[in-house]
């Protein structure tokens, strides 16, 4: 998220409550490690007046839950939210025109932030830069803090994307930044928004059932639950040392897709994505 800042100065004391709060929202969300990561970051930065939690919020309860943040007491200020499934699309509506170009183009926001309680929310997408950094190990940013095209020497000629939802659209944008011109999407049903993003990026999109792989695999990004990924893992072909695999959805233990992948492939777990995207 982009809500973390230094301790308030004298001019900010009238704007912020004594306690600044942020959280990760989603459904399910109990498994999220974001509170652990953010709390550790706050502690490292000396931000003793910041607190980060988790809350189970559904699509239908999202607007009401967001509104409830305005009724908290003056001693605390809600300034940021990390959004996971299934809230990355509904979050765009509450931000109105205060949406970053990346969130707009992908139709998905994983971050809502604002300067103070009562002020409007802004939406952003940090998944794209986080994915690129997780896959190649580093990322170049322009003057505006946006990721620039780079692939770290990784083969992006044969990319495979598991899933076609909001996170998959961020993955498409990430692969495009890495120089990919086409992607094979394994899914049960192609999402209209995902097809739109591919078209706007000028990427060729092939669609197949789970478990249908090309003869050669370069970068694979899985955005589906472990049980679905297990279907694809059954026929996962051997990978080369130049191959990359990242499983975005995490739970307990190593996912079937990660454990099945060839030991020669470089594997990036979702924890690496979380720390890169914030």
Give the pLDDT of residue 150: 55
4 inside domain = no
Across the chain, which has 278 residues, the per-10-residue mean pLDDT values are 37 57 95 92 94 97 94 84 94 94 94 91 93 71 52 77 94 92 95 95 96 88 87 78 74 67 49 52
Give the pLDDT of residue 262: 54
188 inside domain = yes
Q: How many domains does the chain have?
A: 2
Domain final residue pick, 71, 92, 125: 125
Same domain, 158 and 270: yes
83 inside domain = yes
Q: Which residues are known catalytic residues? A: 88
Same domain, 136 and 257: yes
Same domain, 121 and 169: no
Contact 208, 186 (CB under 8 A): yes
Give the pLDDT of residue 139: 47
Domain containing 69 — which CATH number?
3.40.50.10860
Same domain, 241 and 197: yes
Domain final residue pick, 102, 125, 148: 125
Give the pLDDT of residue 146: 53
Domain final residue pick, 125, 154, 185: 125
Same domain, 154 and 110: no
Give the pLDDT of residue 275: 54
Same domain, 117 and 199: no
Same domain, 45 and 62: yes
Give the pLDDT of residue 136: 78
């Amino acid at each position: 998220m982009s809500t973390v800042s230094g301790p308030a100065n004298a001019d900010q004391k009238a704007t912020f409550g004594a306690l600044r709060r942020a959280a990760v929202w989603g459904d399910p969300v109990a498994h999220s490690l974001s509170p652990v990561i953010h709390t550790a970051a706050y502690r490292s930065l000396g931000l003793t007046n910041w607190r980060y939690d988790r809350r189970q919020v559904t699509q239908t309860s999202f607007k009401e839950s967001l509104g409830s943040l305005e009724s908290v007491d003056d001693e605390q200020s809600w300034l940021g939210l990390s959004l996971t499934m299934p809230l990355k699309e509904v979050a765009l509506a509450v931000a109105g025109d205060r949406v970053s170009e990346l969130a707009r183009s992908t139709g998905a926001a994983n971050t809502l932030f604002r300067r103070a309680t009562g002020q409007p929310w802004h939406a952003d997408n940090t998944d794209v830069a986080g994915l690129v950094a997780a896959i190649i190990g580093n990322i170049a940013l322009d003057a505006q803090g946006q990721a620039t095209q780079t692939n770290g020497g990784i083969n992006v000629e044969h990319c495979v994307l598991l899933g076609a939802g909001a996170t998959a659209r961020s993955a498409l944008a990430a692969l495009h930044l890495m120089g990919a011109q086409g992607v094979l999407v394994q899914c049960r049903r192609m999402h209209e928004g995902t097809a739109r993003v591919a078209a706007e990026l000028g990427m060729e999109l092939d669609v197949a059932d789970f478990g249908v792989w090309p003869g050669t695999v370069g970068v694979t990004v899985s955005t589906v639950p472990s049980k679905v990924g297990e279907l694809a893992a059954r026929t996962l072909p051997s990978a080369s040392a130049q191959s990359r695999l990242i499983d975005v959805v995490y739970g307990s233990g190593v996912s079937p897709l990660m454990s099945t992948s060839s030991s020669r492939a470089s594997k990036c777990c979702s924890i690496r994505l979380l720390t890169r995207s914030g």
